[in-house]
């Protein structure tokens, strides 16, 4: 296709040409996969878990809005390049999986021809700006926030400031009370009116992930004319003060942790003043207009159909414009086939306003529908099985892609949600008294499925049961969110994946049975407490033996025995040793102080020092995972999840996080003695584990099943002997730019431990200490340094594993 013949803006045309050229360079071996990675992420292209050049393509649909003509273009893309599935995300985008890299350039051109971009949908950029899906039509909104949200989106797209931020940055805009999800965004905006002037209440620094934070109050009123300037000022502060060296601490929420909200606000105000005199695009606020709707003949075939009446009750809501409704389409797992997309686009063209909106709940909404058109839409949806009633309810669950396609996924969250949805459909059919309960699941702790803000949330993980590693979920209860605030769900219990459906049923049934009056689930949870559910679900922590029930150890959507993928991080042998031994030595000093305080009957002081000892010992072993947290509670949480529950240390340490959080002032002598004993035992185990690692010259503490046979090792596949750092010459690559010593060595060594003897690893390092220390350290471990070249201020080394 000739790009010049298409009605595409020049800057977009140039991007497409650049992308196609870069893919060609990659195929010729002129650019490495790691160098190409940042480039493709900036264009919305993710690598998938599957081997080979298969990609996930994420479109960027500002505010989740698009036309029926664009939906047809997206369906065409799914047919030509993907697996015929359009996946709606929690950021109101549509993404595609299993796209061959060689097809991406042409696919991007096809999308661009219809005004669809993937630019900055991934990577360290400002991600898709989201907005309340009912904005512009909501009966409760203060004013229509869409023009302002569009202005923010247009202004920041391709903005030079947003091309290489420390990490991703997320913005939401809402006009009512909750659909915008402000408290979990880096910038959350909610429309307010002061003295007749439009503006926004702004919160900053929110985010989920493995260490969630609630956004902090920034301003009660940012005038609409200052909106773009204020957003740029906040992002400038993030760009200047975000930690670009440590990816784990790079989000904007950590800037607030470091400086506090008052100093951060002062830094933003300073940047705001520096932008005085800069011309910002005018925000066009058009008058309200009703889209043209064709004449149609109402379908009355379903007027007496109870399923239709139920669907109308639960899937439609009146707009603030008289005579019009929003109609919601429930998507299982957020998925829509290309065939179904075309059916929906056609009926929307025929009886509605030709517009579609993706919701943050992974559904699709049709605005501008007259009641006479309900039967027409229902009839078409019923033909394709998309007529299920109930969106944003118990039967409408949210999840991330999980380990089906995501490199970071631990469990098959999509398989779990499929099972839970089927259970709910079978058990609670016809009941709407439980509709307000929300269920969300993520395949790892990173909360892409937003499990922290659900009534019932699940976070994927792993744990040994009966000596066998099995897929597990951390069950969280009581999460909630509105524009005025949020509360993250509490960790209640960690249970095997195959026991989650029963745990969910028990939880819902208990709420239905024991609630008082019209208590919501969060109110019920607050009243009965964590202990109520802990006792209710305690027996579900167990599984029968693997010989009795082998399927109990197999994850959903899988037929193979569950295993953990390589999950390490890392940096230099001497420095790593120093970090571990320093932590352990300090742990022993804290243990000594705890014992002395106990002997003096200073119980609270004894517990505090025992806690400190535990945290330091935990930090020592987490170094082998490439992690080092200053926050003790975060340390203990990661330690229990990654070290205790996977069987690296004794099971007696299970529940250590809960004990760690007990108030020392309320502790008695027995509890203090128990903490002293546990600290001593953990230090001893850490010493033994570290000695074993040193003996085996390995940073990975091997986790083996005590019952199941170990899989046979794959035969060694030597490298091809070339000493050049090209894509054809190495078996694996790792980009360690920005990773400090000694963790760059840990990451290198852990990566080598996943490879076979004779294979080659290419490592990209910063200049200075990393380039000096890492090559020398791996050679000391007995590996061969094949080559070491300097390139654009960085160093590329190739290592052959011994």
Q: Please list the active-site residues.
A: 741
| C-alpha closest to that of 102 among 22, 1, 6, 4 | 22
Q: Are 454 and 474 in contact (CB under 8 A)?
A: no
For 337, what's the count of Cα atoms within 13 Å in the CB-facing half-sphere?
A: 7
Pairing of strands 325-329, 316-318: antiparallel
| DSSP assigned state of 786 | E
| C-alpha closest to that of 727 among 40, 47, 32 | 32
Calpha distance 741→743 (Å, rounded): 5
Calpha distance 478→454 (Å, rounded): 7
Calpha distance 72→344 (Å, rounded): 10
CA–chain centroid gap for 618, Å, is 25
Q: Are 629 and 619 in contact (CB under 8 A)?
A: yes
Q: How is residue 715 written in tokens?
A: 């035969």
Order the strands of the 794-800 sheet from edge to edge.
Answer: 732-735, 760-766, 794-800, 784-791
CA–chain centroid gap for 310, Å, is 34
CA angle 409, 415, 418 (to 5 degrees): 140
Burial zone of 219 (CB within 10 Å; 0-12 exposed, 13-18 middle, 19+ buried): middle
SS3 labels along 159-186: CHHHCCCCCCECEEEECCCCCCCHHHCC
Burial zone of 513 (CB within 10 Å; 0-12 exposed, 13-18 middle, 19+ buried): exposed
Beta strand segments in 386-455, E: 398-399, 439-442
| C-alpha closest to that of 626 among 688, 579, 583 | 579
Calpha distance 625→700 (Å, rounded): 8
As beta bridge partners, residue 387 has: none
Q: How is residue 558 written in tokens?
A: 């899988």
Length of the chain (residues): 802
Q: Are 452 and 488 in contact (CB under 8 A)?
A: yes
Angle between helices 104-112 and 68-81 (to 10 degrees): 170
Q: Between the CA of residue 309 and those of 303, 312, 319, 523, what are the distances in Å?
A: 7, 5, 19, 30
Q: Are 201 and 159 in contact (CB under 8 A)?
A: no
First-to-last CA distance in the chain? 49
Q: Are 477 and 525 in contact (CB under 8 A)?
A: yes
CA–chain centroid gap for 501, Å, is 23
Calpha distance 522→520 (Å, rounded): 6
Calpha distance 251→243 (Å, rounded): 8
| DSSP assigned state of 642 | I
Kindly report whether the peptide bond that precedes residue 387 is cis, defined as omega within 30 degrees of 0: no
């Amino acid at each position: 296709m000739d790009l010049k013949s298409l009605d595409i803006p020049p800057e977009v045309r140039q991007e497409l040409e650049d992308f196609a050229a870069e893919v060609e360079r990659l195929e010729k071996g002129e650019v490495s996969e790691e160098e190409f990675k940042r480039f493709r992420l900036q264009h919305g292209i993710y690598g998938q878990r599957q081997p080979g050049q298969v990609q996930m393509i994420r479109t960027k649909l500002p505010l989740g809005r698009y036309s029926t003509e664009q939906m047809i273009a997206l369906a065409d893309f799914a047919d030509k390049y993907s697996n015929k599935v359009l996946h709606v995300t929690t950021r109101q985008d549509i993404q595609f999986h299993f796209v061959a890299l060689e097809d991406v350039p042409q696919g991007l051109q096809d999308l661009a021809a219809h005004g669809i971009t993937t630019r900055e949908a991934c990577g360290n950029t400002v991600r898709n700006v989201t907005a309340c899906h009912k904005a512009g039509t909501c009966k409760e909104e203060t004013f229509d926030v869409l023009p302002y949200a569009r202005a923010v989106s247009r202004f920041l797209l391709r903005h030079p400031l947003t091309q290489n931020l420390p990490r991703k940055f997320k913005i939401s805009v809402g006009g009512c009370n909750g659909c915008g999800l402000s408290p979990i965004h880096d910038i959350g905006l909610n429309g307010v009116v002061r003295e007749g002037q439009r503006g926004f209440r702004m919160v900053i620094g929110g985010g989920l992930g493995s260490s969630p934070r609630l956004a902090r109050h920034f301003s009660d009123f940012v005038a609409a004319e200052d909106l773009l300037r204020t957003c740029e000022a906040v992002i400038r502060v993030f760009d200047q003060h975000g930690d670009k060296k440590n990816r784990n601490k790079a989000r904007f929420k950590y800037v607030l942790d470091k400086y506090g909200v008052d100093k951060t606000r002062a830094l933003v105000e300073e940047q705001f003043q520096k932008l005085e005199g800069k011309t910002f695009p005018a925000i066009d606020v058009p008058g309200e207009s009703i889209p043209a709707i064709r004449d149609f003949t109402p379908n009355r075939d379903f007027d007496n159909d109870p399923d239709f009446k139920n669907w109308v009750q639960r899937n439609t809501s009146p707009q603030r414009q008289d005579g019009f409704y929003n109609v919601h389409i429930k998507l299982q797992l957020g998925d829509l086939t290309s065939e179904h997309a075309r059916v929906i686009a056609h009926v929307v063209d025929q009886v509605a306003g030709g517009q579609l909106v993706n919701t943050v709940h992974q559904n699709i909404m049709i605005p501008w529908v007259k009641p006479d058109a309900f039967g027409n839409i229902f009839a078409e949806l019923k033909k394709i099985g998309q007529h299920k009633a109930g969106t944003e309810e118990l039967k409408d669950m949210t999840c991330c892609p999980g380990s089906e396609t995501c490199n970071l996924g631990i469990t098959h969250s999509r398989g779990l949600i499929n099972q839970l949805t089927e259970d709910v459909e079978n058990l609670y059919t016809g009941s709407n008294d439980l509709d307000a309960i929300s269920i969300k699941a993520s395949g790892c702790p990173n909360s892409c499925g937003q499990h922290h803000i659900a009534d019932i949330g699940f976070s994927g993980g792993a744990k040994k049961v009966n000596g066998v590693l099995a897929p597990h979920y951390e069950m969280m209860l009581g999460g909630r969110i509105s524009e005025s605030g949020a509360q993250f769900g509490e960790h209640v219990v960690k249970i095997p994946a195959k026991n989650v459906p029963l745990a969910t049923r028990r939880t819902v049934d208990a709420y239905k049975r024991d609630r008082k009056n019209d208590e919501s689930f969060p109110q019920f949870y607050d009243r009965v407490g964590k202990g109520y559910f802990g006792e209710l679900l305690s027996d579900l922590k167990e599984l029968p033996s693997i010989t009795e029930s082998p399927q109990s150890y197999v994850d959903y959507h899988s037929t193979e025995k569950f295993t953990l993928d390589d999950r390490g991080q890392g940096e230099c042998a001497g420095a790593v040793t120093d970090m571990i031994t320093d932590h352990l030595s300090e742990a022993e000093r804290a243990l000594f102080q705890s014992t002395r305080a106990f002997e003096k009957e200073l119980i609270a002081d004894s517990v505090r020092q025992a806690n400190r000892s535990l945290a330091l010992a935990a930090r020592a072993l987490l170094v082998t995972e490439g992690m080092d947290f200053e926050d003790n509670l975060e340390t203990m949480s990661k330690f229990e999840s990654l070290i205790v529950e996977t069987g690296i240390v004794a099971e007696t340490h299970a529940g250590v996080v809960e004990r760690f959080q007990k108030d020392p002032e309320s502790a008695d002598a027995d509890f203090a003695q128990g903490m002293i004993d546990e600290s001593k035992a953990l230090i001893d185990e850490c010493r033994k584990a570290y000695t074993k690692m040193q003996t085996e010259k390995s940073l990975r503490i091997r986790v083996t099943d005590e019952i199941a046979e170990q899989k046979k090792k794959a035969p060694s596949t030597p490298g091809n002997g070339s000493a050049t750092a090209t894509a054809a010459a190495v078996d694996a690559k790792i980009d360690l730019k920005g990773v400090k010593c000694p963790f760059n060595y840990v990451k290198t060594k852990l990566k080598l431990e996943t490879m076979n003897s004779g294979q080659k690893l290419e490592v990209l390092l910063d200049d200075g200490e990393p380039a000096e220390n890492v090559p020398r350290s791996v050679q000391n471990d007995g590996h061969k340094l094949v080559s070491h070249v300097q390139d654009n201020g960085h160093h590329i080394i190739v290592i052959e594993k011994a």
